[in-house]
Structure formats: C-alpha cells, structure tokens
C-alpha cells in the first residue's frame, strides 16, 4: 500500500519546477500568496458568507448557492473523496459539462489534495486515454448521458484500455459506477492544505497537431493567474461572470473566469449551452457583467443582437480569445454591444495578454493585448533565435511567474518547446508595438510547401478575409502529385453580402492578385463550406479540415 508521500513523490516525477534567478525574483517581489488554490474562495466565504457564489443554469438547475453554502458543499465533497480512498498527490481525470457539479468536484478534489486533469467535454477516448496514461490517473470523474453524449460509455472504454484507472465516479445517474461522493467533514480527517508549490491541477494543451500535452499548474502560479486577471478585468464582488466556454479550459477557468470571480466574491453562473437563444436570457435574468468567448461564438452573438429580444446591457466586458479576433469583428461587437470587447491572447502554458478596458477602442480592436504581469519576459525572435525589432514578425518566446518550464512527463517535447534558459517557445507568430502590445499574425508552422516555396497560411487568409463575400476562411495544404502540396482555401460565405454568382476560383485568384499577393501564394483550389470544424474549445481545427478536404 503506497503512502501519501509516495503519491506526492510520484506526482513530482516529471514535473519541472520554477527555478533559478527568476524564481528568486518572484519570491522577493512577493508575487505568491503561498496558499492553496481554493483559499480565494474560503476568504470570500469568510467575508461575505451570504453573497451569491454560484448559479447552476445548466440542465441540472436552476439552483443557487451562497458562498457559505458552496464552501460547505465543497468540504462535503472533499470528505467524500477522502472517504472513498483518494489520496493527496493522486491524479484523476475530470470530464464534465458546465454545472455546479463541475465546480464541486474541482474544489472538492483540490481540498483533498487530489490533482484533477482538466479535460473538456468534447474529448473522446483517444485523448482521455492518452491523458489518463500520461498523468498516471487512478480515477475518472464524469457525468451521465443527459447531455447528448453518454460519458459512462467512455468510462467503460477507458477502464478497458487503461486498467490503472481503478475508479469511476459519476454525477447524475451513475449506472454501474459510483455516484460522486459526499460525506460529513466532521467524520473524516481532511489532509493538511497542499504545498502551494505543488501542481494543483493539470490543464490540456490545445493540440491541433498531435495529441494534447499535460500542463501542470501550481497552486501559487495559478492563484497568481486568477488574481492578476481579476485586476486587469477590474473585477469586483458586484460582477457576475457567465461560464459560456467549457469550464475546464484555462480561459473560463482562470482568466479571470471562475477562480478569478471567486477570489473577488463575485457571482458565477454556469450554462452548458453557449448559444445566444439561451445565454442572452441568462444575461438579462442574472445581470451578467462579464463573459468569455472564442471568436466564432462571438460572431454568432454579434449577429444575434439583431433578433434576440433579451436585454444584454448589463454586459460590461466581453472577453474574446483563443484564436484571432478579426479587427472588423471587434468593431462590430463593440457597435452591437456598446464598447465591451476585451481581446485575450492566452495559453494554457501560462502567459496571458489582455487589452485593458481603459485603452483606446481603436487599439483594442487592433491588438491582442499586452502581458498581464510586469514579470512576464516576452521575446520576439527570428528563425535563428535572434531578437527582432518592434514591428517585425517573429516567434513569441516567454518566461514568467505563471508560465510553465516544461510539459509534464514529456522530455522529448521539452527539448523543442523550451530554451535552455527556460523560455517557452509558443509557436505563435507575433509583432510587438513599441508600447509592448502584441498582434498575433499566425502560427510558425502553419505553412504550405507548394512546389518548393513556403507559403504562410495566414498571409493568404488575411487577404481572402478582405473579400466582402467571405465570412470565415481557413487555408490548408493538400497533397498534390505535381506540386507536393496545393493551396486549398475553405471559405464560409457571408450572409450579409452573398456573392451575386457562385464564388469561382478564377475570380478569387484575380481578387488576390489585385491585392498584390504573389502568384505562388494564390489558391489552387477553393471549397465553399457551411462551417469550419473546430477543436474542443471552438478554435478552427485544421487537422480535421485537411481530412475533410482530401
């Protein structure tokens, strides 16, 4: 029978801690609180026990809990996990739709010192099994089949493929599994608060190439992420945050999201349906002030302001991130909703950039923001790793107090993804303004090699988006015998400005040539599609798109 110490030792095997002169600087500047990640919630529950903490507006609800009620419920859930035999340092895969149960499981696990792997509802057996193996998880916590997919079936497949996942806990109808446990905290000894320099939870890298990687975030660094984000968003106890994106993702979880809102004593509303016909009513009913969306969803919300009758004027901050928000879309959102846009350029690996609410609207429409901490060290480098001047495109490298120094148990990846002095190579192409603001221009590796020439997908995409009849576009390389790869543009047409005659390749090539695009960059193929495939959080998924187009 392994002891508690063995579980923590095992957790730390493959974790890259913050180290060196920077770690010392962060300490000297007192950036960290040295408290467990749930401390923000507990402090709020002490201060304002009767304030609303959570409203569950998912299909489980409606139900609301005050801070005292929520804290007590998470203590019961933690006691349940301890009674069920889960031990500090052990990893469990958590996969659950947005709901109160998600929050209870998350905070219950944190209190028990158990480390959740924060998977998204759209993940399926390939990713879940990979993440369970990679993290060494001993349990899977999920829900029943009421939301379009039966996670109990995934549980069965997971246990057959990964036998080390010994336990399955299910909220709702457990079927053959154990219901998520609750117990009287007075009858169980909860473990002491975890060491704040230990991993608190694992986030998942987006993984549009290959399988997702595990990102260990410590109590200290993730608490800093929540608090700094809350400051940038000027979040207060008077705010109500709507969880529209999948709650386990870094953006809605901690930027400032759920954890940032708890830390200031605001109200968190969970919905499991982000479409405007549902969310607009929730915004009106609960006076929602802040929410976070990916650009595709933001476009949909923007259009819906034309026909949805609900009053959404309480919304003061609409955070958009995860993929690039086109400048005209940022302008349209501000016009439709009243100067509410905040651009967010973040990564589960750490660095989060925000535009600030008091910056000029023109700037907010143009850039993806600036780093939230003065301790974030950003470098923009060329292919040889040399820093480029402001205004020149390059790869973004970053090191800072809440940016990981290595993926979990991934030595081979880490060789490529981190510099020897601890900078994370983001793979993002950016330009930096003298003011420090960053504009994201693409992904380093998103190129098509056509007849020996390198063509950056974003270059072609940006020019195609200038066409009035094109709403959305993704350019990918497809195998071609003569060219090696041919350039294929998948386009979604605009409803407002549909083309007079069907969009032809020849016409598009003329349009691009007239804009000054080089001949070797012109698409060889154009496909009109009704939607583009998206990842688990809603970013355009080029891997899947390529498979669909060949």
Nearer to ligand DBH, 110 or 348 (CB): 348
| Residue of 76, 152, 324, 409 interacting with ligand AMP (CB under 6 A) | 324
Near ligand AMP by CB under 6 A, which window of 141-149, 152-160, 346-354, 484-492?
346-354
Considering only residues 440 to 479 of the shown chain, the ones binding ligand DBH according to CB under 6 A are: none
- Identify the residue among 368, 373, 403, 463 touching ligand AMP (CB under 6 A): 368
212 binds ligand DBH (CB under 6 A): no
Q: Which two tokens stand for residue 160?
A: 């057959």
Task: Say how far apart CA 497 and CA 493 lie, in whole Å.
Answer: 8
Taking the complex as a whole, the smallest distance from the CB of residue 532 to ligand DBH amounts, in Å, to 17
Q: Of 359, 284, 352, 272, which Cα lies nearest the Cα of 314?
A: 284
Give the CA distances from residue 242 to residues 78, 79, 98, 258, in Å, rounded to whole numbers and listed in that order.
Answer: 25, 28, 10, 9
Residue from the set 172, 346, 394, 477 that interacts with ligand AMP by CB under 6 A: 346
What residue has token string 């923000």? 40
Q: What does 355 bind: ligand AMP, ligand DBH, none (CB cut-off 5 to 8 Å by kind)?
A: none
Whether the upstream peptide bond of residue 541 has omega within 30° of 0, thus cis, is no
Question: By C-beta, is 169 or 202 nearer to ligand AMP?
Answer: 202
- Is the CB of residue 340 less than 8 Å from the CB of residue 333? yes
Taking the complex as a whole, the smallest distance from the CB of residue 4 to ligand AMP amounts, in Å, to 32
CA distance 105 to 248: 11
Are the C-beta atoms of residues 324 and 539 closer than 8 Å to each other? Answer: no
Quick check: 483 and 448 in contact, CB under 8 A? Answer: no
| Binding letters toward ligand DBH, positions 264-303, x by CB under 6 A | ----------------------------------------
Select from 21-29, 340-348, 481-489, 520-528 the region that touches ligand AMP (CB under 6 A).
Answer: 340-348
Q: Is 421 left (phi over 0), alpha (psi -120 to 50) or beta?
A: alpha
CB-nearer residue toward ligand AMP: 54 or 214: 214
DSSP string, 68-115: HHHHHHHHHHHHHHHHTT--TT-EEEE---SSHHHHHHHHHHHHTT-E
Q: CA-CA distance, 502 to 498, in Å (whole number)?
A: 9
Q: Is 180 in the site for ligand DBH (CB under 6 A)?
A: no
**What is the SS3 assignment for 193?**
coil
CA dist 251 and 236 (Å) reads 18
Radius of gyration of the chain (CA): 23
348 near ligand AMP, judged by CB under 6 A: yes
322 is a site residue for ligand DBH (CB under 6 A): yes
Write out the DSSP string of 455-504: EEHHHHHHHHHTSTTEEEEEEEEEEETTTEEEEEEEEEE-SSS--SS---
Q: How many residues does this entry show for the chain? A: 550
Residue number of the CB atom closest to ligand DBH: 346
> Would you call 442 helix, strand, or coil by DSSP?
strand
Contacting ligand DBH within 340-359 (CB under 6 A): 344, 346-348, 352
CB of 404 to ligand DBH, least distance (A): 12
**What string marks each residue from 238 to 267 as x (binds ligand DBH by CB under 6 A) or -?**
------------xx---x------------
Please identify, using beta-carbon distances, which residue of 118 and 162 lies nearer to ligand DBH.
118
Residue 321 lies near ligand DBH (rule: CB under 6 A): yes
Q: Does 205 bind ligand AMP (CB under 6 A)?
A: yes
**What's the min distance (Å) between Cβ of 349 and ligand DBH?**
8
Does residue number 245 form part of the binding site for ligand AMP (CB under 6 A)? Answer: no
Question: Of 180 and 410, which CB lies nearer to ligand AMP in the complex structure?
Answer: 410
Enumerate residues 6+ apart whose C-beta is below 8 A from 229.
Answer: 235, 254, 255, 256, 257, 260, 352, 354, 372
β-bridge partners, 493: 470
- Confirm or reject binding of residue 206 to ligand AMP (CB under 6 A): yes
Contact 155, 177 (CB under 8 A): yes
Q: Out of ligand AMP, ligand DBH, none, which partner does residue 438 contact, by CB within 5 to 8 A per kind?
A: none
> Are 486 and 528 a contacting pair, CB within 8 Å?
no
Residue 440 site contact among ligand DBH, ligand AMP, none (CB < 5 to 8 Å, cut-off depends on kind):
ligand AMP
Instruction: Tell me the site size for ligand DBH, rule CB under 6 A.
Output: 11
The residue count for binding ligand AMP (CB under 6 A) is 19
CB-wise, 202 or 511, nearer to ligand AMP? 202
Paired tokens of 516: 């000054």
Indicate the pairing of strand 317-321 with strand 290-293: parallel
Residue 200 or 488: the one with the smaller Cβ distance to ligand DBH is: 200
Residue 251 binding result from ligand AMP, ligand DBH, none, given CB thresholds of 5 to 8 Å by partner type = ligand DBH
Query: Which residue of this chain has its Cβ atom nearest to ligand AMP in the complex?
Result: 206
Cβ distance 190 to 112 under 8 Å? yes
352 touches, from ligand DBH, ligand AMP, none (C-beta below 5 to 8 Å by class): ligand DBH
Choose, by CB under 6 A, the member of 322, 371, 406, 422 that binds ligand AMP. Answer: 322
Q: Which residues contact 293 (CB under 8 A, 6 or more apart)?
A: 244, 245, 274, 301, 318, 319, 320
368 binds, among ligand AMP, ligand DBH, none (CB under 5 to 8 A by kind): ligand AMP
CB–CB of 340/318 below 8 Å?
A: yes
Question: Any contact of residue 232 with ligand DBH (CB under 6 A)?
Answer: no
Positions that interact with ligand AMP (CB under 6 A): 205-206, 250, 321-324, 343-349, 368, 426, 428, 440, 443
Q: Which residues bind ligand DBH (CB under 6 A)?
A: 206, 250-251, 255, 321-322, 344, 346-348, 352
């Amino acid at each position: 029978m392994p002891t508690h110490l063995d579980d923590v030792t095992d957790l730390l095997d493959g974790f890259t801690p913050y180290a060196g002169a920077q770690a010392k600087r962060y300490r000297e500047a007192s950036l960290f609180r040295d408290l467990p990640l749930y401390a923000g919630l507990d402090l709020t529950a002490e201060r304002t026990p009767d304030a609303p903490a959570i409203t569950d507006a998912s299909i489980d609800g409606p139900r609301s809990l005050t801070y005292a009620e929520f804290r007590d419920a998470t203590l019961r859930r933690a006691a349940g996990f301890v009674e069920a035999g889960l031990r500090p340092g052990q990893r469990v895969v958590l996969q659950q739709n947005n709901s109160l149960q998600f929050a209870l499981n998350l905070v219950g696990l944190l209190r028990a010192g158990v480390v959740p792997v924060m998977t998204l509802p759209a993940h399926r057996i390939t990713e879940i099994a990979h993440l369970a193996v990679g993290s060494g998880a001993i349990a899977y916590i999920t829900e029943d089949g009421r939301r379009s997919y039966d996670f109990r079936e995934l549980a069965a497949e997971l246990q057959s493929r990964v036998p080390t996942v010994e336990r399955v806990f299910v909220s709702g109808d457990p079927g053959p599994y154990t219901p998520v446990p609750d117990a009287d905290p007075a009858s169980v000894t909860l473990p002491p608060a975890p060491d704040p320099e230990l991993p608190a939870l694992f986030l998942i890298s987006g993984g549009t190439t290959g399988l997702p990687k595990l990102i260990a975030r410590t109590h200290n660094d993730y608490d800093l992420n929540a608090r700094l984000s809350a400051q940038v968003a000027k979040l207060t106890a008077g705010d109500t945050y709507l969880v529209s994106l999948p709650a386990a993702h870094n953006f809605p979880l901690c930027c400032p999201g759920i954890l940032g809102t708890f830390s200031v004593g605001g109200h968190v509303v969970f919905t499991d349906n982000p479409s405007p016909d549902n969310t607009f009513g929730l915004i009106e009913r609960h006076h929602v002030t802040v929410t976070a969306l990916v650009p595709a969803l933001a476009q949909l919300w923007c259009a819906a302001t034309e026909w949805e009758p609900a009053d959404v004027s309480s919304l003061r901050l609409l955070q958009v991130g995860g993929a690039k928000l086109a400048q005209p879309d940022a302008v349209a959102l501000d016009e439709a909703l009243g100067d509410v846009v905040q651009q967010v350029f973040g990564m589960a690996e750490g660095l989060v950039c925000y535009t600030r609410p008091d910056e000029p609207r023109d700037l907010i429409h143009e850039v993806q923001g600036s780093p939230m901490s003065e301790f974030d060290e950003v470098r923009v480098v060329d292919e040889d790793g040399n820093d480029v001047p402001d205004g020149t495109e390059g790869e973004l490298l970053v090191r800072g107090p809440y940016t990981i120094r290595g993926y979990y148990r991934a030595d081979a990846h880490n060789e490529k993804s981190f510099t020897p002095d601890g900078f994370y190579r983001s793979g993002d192409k950016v330009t930096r303004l003298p003011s420090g603001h960053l504009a994201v221009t693409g992904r380093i590796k998103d190129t098509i090699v056509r007849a020996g020439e390198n063509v950056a997908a974003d270059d072609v995409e940006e020019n195609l988006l200038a066409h009035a009849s094109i709403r959305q576009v993704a350019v990918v390389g497809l195998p071609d015998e003569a060219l090696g790869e041919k350039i294929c543009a998948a386009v979604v047409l605009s409803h407002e400005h549909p083309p007079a005659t069907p969009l032809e390749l020849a016409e598009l090539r003329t349009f691009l040539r007239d804009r000054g695009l080089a001949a070797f960059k012109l698409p060889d193929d154009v496909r009109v599609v009704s939607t583009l495939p998206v990842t688990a959080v809603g970013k355009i998924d080029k891997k899947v798109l390529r498979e669909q187009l060949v």
